[in-house]
Amino acid sequence: MKINRNRAKPVEEGDLTPMIDMTFQLIAFFMVLINFSQVERSEAIQLPDSTLAKPPDDTPGYRILLNMKSNGSVIFAGSVYSQLDELKGALSREIRNAERKNSTLQDIQVIIRAHSVAKMGKVQELIGICQDVELENFSLRVNEKTRSG
Amino acid sequence: MKIRNADAAKDKAELNMTSMIDIVFQLLVFFIMTFKITAMEGDFNVKMPRASSQNDSIDKPFDEPIKIELKADTDGSILEIIVDGESKGTSFQSLANFVVAKAGAPGPERDKIIKDTEIEFDCDYDLKYEEVIAGITAVSGKRRADNEIEKLFEKIKFKDQPKR
């Protein structure tokens, strides 16, 4: 008896091309929009809004990002500082690190991300701590508020 | 002559796509999970070196600074805005109007005034940070009808506070 071998084999395969096309398009979309710089932003901080806020035009030579929570404690480099005086040592180390990368004190931008209901006195204390270690360029970070919003 | 492999032309060499699709979907899931829409952030730049007798005479503005006191009520909201000793109530809009009037009409004269004038904020310790940002926004400029920013005073500093 003759056995037709080809009959046992047939496999019905859908055309995967459109699905793969779409999937790659989606991946490209998310890759373009993902912003890894947000990693260092603290989720606990709700920034105040300002209609004049504009993203900075140029990136500073070296930046130090300080997040201040509503209770006045500061998050810096993954550590929480309840006593602001304790921050001096960490800032001094950061400045030495910047100097090793050929940045001067004038090149260092201190970006303060303070919670909208944090006390201004605490923010000024933080600025004072930075001034004690001779930092002088500060950026007060705010959320961009559109005219309609 | 008999052709043995008549079906040979039909046999396509097909790659196994399963592993690629697996990886691609893994990537897709990763990007979807990590994707987050956040508002754009901007900065107000403030240059504030520690006051010392040496550089006091160097960067000193030609004109007296405009002194803005921001008083806080018990819950940290704005209680009163005082500009050069004159009360402006609690409205930052009246502060903005004052500043625009102080700067004058657009032109070289305004540019000189803006360049030479410093704004000094004297804020209560308990005042909410968002109220101070509202004050800084009022003096820094305004958005025109065409959505462009008209810049005003940029030299901003804070009066030192007694430490608690």
Chain A neighbors of B148, CB-CB under 8 A: none
Q: How far is it, in rounded angstroms, from Cα A9 to Cα A113?
A: 65
A-B C-beta contacts closer than 8 Å: 156
**Inter-chain CB proximity B123 and A120 less than 8 Å:** yes
Q: Is A33's Cβ below 8 Å from some Cβ in B?
A: yes
What is the pLDDT, as a whole number, of residue B151? 82
Q: How far is it, in rounded angstroms, from Cα A110 to Cα A64?
A: 5
**Inter-chain CB proximity A23 and B28 less than 8 Å:** yes
Per-residue pLDDT of chain B (164 residues; tens, 9 = 90+): 555 555 555 566 777 788 888 888 999 898 888 887 777 788 888 877 776 544 444 455 456 788 999 999 989 899 999 988 888 888 888 888 888 888 877 788 888 888 888 888 999 999 999 999 999 998 888 877 777 778 888 888 888 776 66
Which residue out of A11, A120, A145 would a mutagenesis test of the B interface target, given it has the greatest number of B Cβ atoms within 10 Å? Answer: A120
The minimal CB distance from B137 to the residues A52, A111, A121 is found for A52
Kindly report the number of other CB atoms within 10 A of residue A69's CB atom. 20
Structure tokens at A100: 């090793």
Structure tokens at A58: 């140029």
**Inter-chain CB proximity B49 and A131 less than 8 Å:** yes
**Inter-chain CB proximity A137 and B45 less than 8 Å:** yes
Instruction: Please name the residue of chain A whose CA is at the shortest distance from the CA of residue B27.
Output: A27
Q: How many residues does chain B have?
A: 164
Chain B neighbors of A124, CB-CB under 8 A: 123, 158, 160-161
Decide: residue B128, CB within 10 A, 0-12 exposed, 13-18 middle, 19+ buried.
buried
What is the pLDDT, as a whole number, of residue A66? 92
Low-confidence ranges of chain A (pLDDT < 70): 1-11, 35-42, 146-149
- List of residues 6+ apart from A123 with CB closer than 8 A: A68, A112, A114, B129, B132
**Inter-chain CB proximity A121 and B158 less than 8 Å:** no
- pTM comes to 0.75
Instruction: B109-115: list long-range contacts, CB under 8 Å, 24+ apart.
Output: B113/B63, B114/B151, B114/B152, B114/B153, B114/B154
Nearest by Cα to A110 from A85, A86, A84, A128: A128
**Inter-chain CB proximity B42 and A52 less than 8 Å:** yes
Question: What one-letter code names the amino acid at B63?
Answer: D
Q: What is the ipTM of this complex?
A: 0.74
**Inter-chain CB proximity A138 and B125 less than 8 Å:** no
